[in-house]
Structure 1
Amino acid sequence: MTKKVFLFIAVFFSVLSTEAQVSVKPGLRAGFNLSTISEMHANYKTDFYAGGFAEINITKHYALQPEINYSRQGSNDVERKYFDENTQTNKTEYLDLEINYLSLSVVNKFTLAQGIQFQAGPTLDILLNDNLAVRKAQNDLGLVLGVAYAMPSGLTFEARFKKGLLDVLSSDYYQNDSNNYYLFGDYNTNINFQLGVSYSFGK
């Protein structure tokens, strides 16, 4: 039985190496971020991302793509009501929260007919800087899902959704204590929509 298992494994990898013509193509990607932070009253923040990647084509329809991106995220117009001890009055301020990451991703790319792609994979976001008054998580873990259209020239149009998994800020500071109309929760995660282009070099 053991010999049969080893024989099967040997044949499997032999067929795989024959069918799979592995190639690696470097590339660049850039586009717009539309981001916010969940469970708080805020508007979406428009900014950008830019980075590079290595497209490892394992089969005709599957590629593994490690990426490194600079991503500017956050939320705009976060409403915070608080009591000012100095003036003994209730006040309201609107905060634009900025969180900038170095994002390391490993994206699985599945290419169908006519260049249609589905993309999915994990990401590790390393915090570069922010203007948060109270932060919970230094870095973030997330998942990326996307669709794309790849042209024969190497140019690809991409649309992605990236969801953070870690609580990035303290809602005890940012929550609107004076108005229960708005939803403020304790689990405040990054939400980011990306729309952009990428270009891979080489045939």
Structure 2
Amino acid sequence: MYTKKLALVVFFFWAVINTQAQVTFKPGLRAGLSLSTISEMHANYRPDFYVGGFGEINFTKRYALQPEINYIRQGSNNVARNFIDQDTQTERTVYQDLQMSYLSIGLLNKLKFNQFEIQFGPALDVLLSDNLAFRKTYNDLSFVTGVAYKMPSGLGFEFRFKKGLLDVLDSDYYHNNSNSHYLFGDYNTNVNFQIGISYSFETK
């Protein structure tokens, strides 16, 4: 009985040491084009940029966990807002470009298939600046998913979709009564596409 317990303990420590020996860490940088809008609005996509850093923790050949911090500029262009002009008591429509800058802290899972990767995970977006007159919330929670192609040199090409989960806009202020093409509702969330490059540094 004692021999079996000792063998089990030895096997457990051997497995832990073997797993630790296989874990590798690669820091990196990423940047690219950010295309974003706010859902349920009559608005255009806003082109801007994102830039950030990450650390890729490789547990196996097929799986890695990637914590990252990104600066992302989001928003929506040509937002139509209807309101009553207090001076003339008539309905007016104005068009505004809405801009929001976030510090996005993410934790992505990465499934690797040779040089191709599937990425997905949650992110916390902390609002740094914006030009909104009224808002529902300052920060946002989002889900990120995407694909990437990594070259042996460390250079990679990424395409991601990031969907906010919280209502960020005050629809009592930003509203549209004459929208015949899009649904303008009360649940207005961030929608973001990212197209860019990344570079992983080799570590010893």
Q: TM-score, normalised by structure 2?
A: 0.90
The one-letter code sitting in structure 2 at the alignment partner of 1:160 is R
Q: Is 184-193 or 14-23 further displaced after alignment?
A: 14-23
The one-letter code sitting in structure 2 at the alignment partner of 1:105 is G
Distance in 2, matches of 1:186 and 1:201, equals 44
Give unmatched runs, 5+ long, in structure 1. Answer: none
1:86 aligned partner = 87
Distance in 2, matches of 1:36 and 1:21, equals 41
Question: How big is the shift at 1:180?
Answer: 4.9
Q: Is the 8 A contact 2:42 2:179 kept in 1?
A: no
Question: How big is the shift at 1:90?
Answer: 2.0
Question: How big is the shift at 1:167?
Answer: 0.4
1:123 aligned partner = 123
Residue 18 of structure 2 aligns to a residue whose secondary structure is helix
Question: How big is the shift at 1:57?
Answer: 1.1
Judged with a 3 Å threshold, the aligned counterparts in structure 2 of structure 1 residues 116 and 9 are, in CA distance, closer, same or farther, namely farther
Distance in 2, matches of 1:68 and 1:94, equals 32
Matches within 5 A, 1:19-30: 19=19, 21-30=22-31
2:143 aligned partner = 143
Distance in 1, matches of 2:9 and 2:134, equals 53
1:103 aligned partner = 104
Distance in 2, matches of 1:28 and 1:146, equals 17
The one-letter code sitting in structure 2 at the alignment partner of 1:32 is L
Segments of 4+ in structure 1 off by > 6 A? 7-10
The one-letter code sitting in structure 1 at the alignment partner of 2:80 is E
Question: How big is the shift at 1:49?
Answer: 0.2
1:162 aligned partner = 162
2:45 aligned partner = 44
CA offsets per residue over residues 130-171 of structure 1, 9 Å max, x none?
A: 111111111000100000001000011000000000000111
CA offsets per residue over residues 80-125 of structure 1, 9 Å max, x none?
A: 1211011222211101000100000011111102x01000010000
**Aligned pairs, how many?**
198
Question: How big is the shift at 1:14?
Answer: 3.7
Judged with a 3 Å threshold, the aligned counterparts in structure 2 of structure 1 residues 67 and 10 are, in CA distance, closer, same or farther, namely farther
Q: Is the 8 A contact 2:122 2:144 kept in 1?
A: yes
Judged with a 3 Å threshold, the aligned counterparts in structure 2 of structure 1 residues 120 and 9 are, in CA distance, closer, same or farther, namely farther
Distance in 1, matches of 2:42 and 2:13, equals 53
Give unmatched runs, 5+ long, in structure 2. Answer: none
Question: How big is the shift at 1:60?
Answer: 1.1
The one-letter code sitting in structure 1 at the alignment partner of 2:127 is L
Q: TM-score, normalised by structure 1?
A: 0.90
Question: How big is the shift at 1:15?
Answer: 3.0
Residue 172 of structure 1 aligns to a residue whose secondary structure is coil
CA RMSD across the alignment: 2.1
1:73 aligned partner = 74
Judged with a 3 Å threshold, the aligned counterparts in structure 2 of structure 1 residues 42 and 103 are, in CA distance, closer, same or farther, namely same
Distance in 1, matches of 2:195 and 2:116, equals 16
Distance in 2, matches of 1:159 and 1:70, equals 16
